[in-house]
Amino acid sequence: PTVVVSPLLALLEDQFLKLQQLGVPTVRLDSTVGVADRRAALARIAAGGSILVLTTPETLAGDELGALLAKSPPGLVAVDEAHCISEWGHDFRPAYLALGQRLAGLRAGQILALTATATPPVRDDIVRYLGLREPEIIVASPHRHNLMFSVRDLRGDEKLRHLAKLARRLPRPGIVYCSTTKMVDDVWLGLRLIKVPCARYHGKMTDKERSEHQARFMKKGKRIVMVATSAFGLGIDKPDIRYIVHYQAPASLERYLQEAGRAGRDGHAARCMLLFDESDLQIQEHLLALSRLSPSLLGRFGRALAAWAGEERDANIEELALSAGVSQRAASSLVTTLVEAGICERVENRRVHATGPLDTLVERVEGLRSRFEVLRREDARRMRAVVEYASEPECRSVALRRYFGDTDPTPCGRCDLCRTHGVGMRPAGRIDRRPHHPRRPWQAPGGEVPRPELAVALPAGGPRADGHERRRRRRRRGRRGAQPAEHPTGAVRPAPPAATPLSLLSPPSPLPPLDPAADDLAAELGAPGLPPEPQAAKLAGVPPGSVLPGGAPRHRRRRRRRRRRGHGPRPAVAQPPGTP
């Protein structure tokens, strides 16, 4: 058999359903599987043959699955989210600590450790704790060339106003990540008020509500915005997500890159935007304090457990909580952590039994406590790295690749900083993408459009002003009815104004620099000071000038305006008698 180990129950369930749809023989074993399904899965493994086993580290450490795999060693064990084994990682899980010993006992043919967010210290821990001998380490760059990273420093209500602009103008679907459920609800309501189709997803919604909103977002051809916490995205396979917005700063660059990487999986251009406010990190500090165990409480609880074990007695959770001076809720979390680390186990009547040699029990607990101390220090370092990324002066991609161990990264040429500095932008000489037409009176001799540094004699208003004026006159005649022709038949049309020789013209004065704050959206899209229309057209994949910020083609908008004013099509002109 092939064994896949993952700590994420929701991801295991999603993968199990997809593999069944593909016809791959698969069984799932974890704490959420019912008794009947568990027996059927164990029987299928015992029957042997080619089968894929999806499980968790806790289930793999159990006696039932371990005994079956000992009889039929797996050819491959794939450890997903392998960074969870290291306290230097952003998602340390004690259950991974016992994985190395368990894998050694299984005599697996090959071991494959997978992670999307591993810094050099985490990679070293993965090799050491899993007992890998001379492994082949493949490190891919965290940078994908179709992703365009950007950061905006915004405060308070500026965020929601800026997000409203983005949600109106950027192509969908997109995801907006928030740190708290309250902020998810607030942003979701704000987008609904401005008529942006959106859904939401967070842990305080009912299962039915989450399923309905997720199904709306995942529906093929549905282009809406999902507002969610970090709980959304595990197992989501939607390749055409066009942008990811982090409405609040994440706790680490690992998490930021993991969530931002869900955009543009179809290979087309996608945007990853961080709306940064340093005060958001206080929210992350609070959330981490709630999710991380206190090292001091862990040490006290371990000593209380050792005292009960020294008397050869199994204490229940209430007794251990009283002995350690902690609440029963905290005691339950501490017991779960110690069970995952293999230091104790739960027995009947809510009692806890210490495992392993008693003389090393306190030492093992102290070792686990020191890991959580390192984890807390690393949490603070990771949050500082987020601040450094937001204040990066050179290139966003360079900052990310340097953080993940790339020693000599090159600028990406696509992020907001690179485009502001001119890295990877179009040459300045390409000022007009229209095809050249035959020579007109305002062109230089030879029929070529001069370069911008050469002055050209133009009629007032530019090269096409006379054409616009003729069209305006025709529209006015159509509204007033048939009018005499401006030039009778046979009359000679006056010649256009002669062009002034180039040699008599002085070079034009340079244009004033564009104000980067002229348009917030243009600055966000990487071209400060440019109007939003070309950028929106570029994102929509159509020629510039064909789409306005509202999203409707120009000719349709003009036609609607004329209908509102009561102007219909141009009336027919009466022909004089005798005209053939």
The 10s digit of each residue's pLDDT in 469-515 is: 666 667 666 655 544 444 444 444 455 455 444 444 444 444 444 44
Total domain count for the chain?
A: 3
φ, ψ dihedrals at 74, nearest 5°? -70, 145
Q: Is residue 51 part of a domain?
A: yes
Same domain, 107 and 196: no
Determine contact, residues 76/3, Cβ cutoff 8 Å: yes
Range in 91-100, 165-174, 368-377, 423-432 with the lowest mean pLDDT: 423-432
- 162, containing H or E segment: helix 157-169
Burial of 31 (0-12, 13-18, 19+ CB in 10 A): exposed
Q: What CA–CA distance (Å, rounded) separates 120 from 292? A: 23
Rounded CA separation 536/531 (Å): 9
Q: Domain containing 313: what range?
A: 292-381
State pLDDT tens for residues 186-204. 999 989 998 899 999 998 8
Taking all residues of the chain, what is their mean pLDDT, rounded to a whole number? 74
Backbone region of residue 156 per phi and psi (left: phi > 0; alpha: psi in -120 to 50; beta: other values): left
Token couple for 55: 């499980």
The reply to whether 205 and 167 lie within a common domain is yes
Who contacts 549 (Cβ-Cβ below 8 Å, separation ≥6)? 168, 169, 532, 533, 536
Which range, 225-229, 280-284, 448-452, 479-483, has the best average confidence (pLDDT)?
225-229
Same domain, 153 and 277: yes
Output the six-digit token pair for 88: 């230097």
Cβ contact 289:375 at 8 Å: no
Pairing of strands 351-354, 344-347: antiparallel
User: What tens digit of pLDDT does each residue of 127-141 get?
Assistant: 888 888 888 888 887
- Average pLDDT rounded to a whole number, residues 92-98: 72
Residues 273, 182 within the same domain: yes
For residue 115, give the CATH number of its domain: 3.40.50.300
Indicate whether 53 belongs to any domain.
yes
Q: Work out the average pLDDT over 413-430.
A: 65
- Which of 381, 409, 429 terminates a domain? The answer is 381
Pairing of strands 270-276, 147-153: parallel
Q: What is the DSSP letter of 19?
A: H
Is position 94 within any domain? yes
The reply to whether 187 and 235 lie within a common domain is yes
Among candidate residues 57, 117, 120, the one with its CA nearest the CA of residue 83: 117
Contact 28, 7 (CB under 8 A): no
User: Does 44 map to a domain?
Assistant: yes
Do 102 and 206 fall within a single domain? no
β-pairing verdict for 351-354 and 315-316: antiparallel
Residue 559 in domain: no
Query: Is residue 67 one of the residues assigned to a domain?
Result: yes
Q: Are 393 and 423 in contact (CB under 8 A)?
A: no
Would you state the torsion angle of the CA atoms of residues 468, 533, 513, 166, taken in this order, to the nearest 10 degrees? 160
Give 272's strand partners.
Answer: 149, 244
Whole-angstrom Cα distance, residue 71 to residue 27? 18
Would you say 350 and 335 are in contact if contact means Cβ atoms under 8 Å apart?
no
Whether the CB-CB separation of 13 and 56 falls below 8 Å is answered with no
Q: How far is Cα 327 from Cα 300, in angstroms, rounded to an integer? A: 12
437 confidence band (pLDDT: 50, 70, 90):
very low
Check whether residue 43 and residue 91 sit in a common domain: yes
Read off the CATH number of the domain in which 357 is found.
Answer: 1.10.10.10
Domain boundary pick from 381, 408, 436: 381
Same domain, 281 and 331: no
253 in Cβ contact with 143 (< 8 Å)? no
Domain check: are 272 and 300 in the same one? Answer: no
* Residues 191, 66 within the same domain: no
Domain ends where: 348, 381, 414?
Answer: 381
Kindly state whether residue 368 falls inside one of the protein's structural domains: yes
Mark whether 297 and 265 lie in a shared domain.
no
Q: Are residues 184 and 223 in the same domain?
A: yes
**pTM score, two decimals?**
0.64
562 is a domain residue: no
Token couple for 532: 């939003």
In order of 14, 16, 123, 218, 234, the CA distances from 11 in angstroms are 5, 8, 23, 16, 6
76: left (phi over 0), alpha (psi -120 to 50) or beta: beta
Tokens of 540: 């929509």
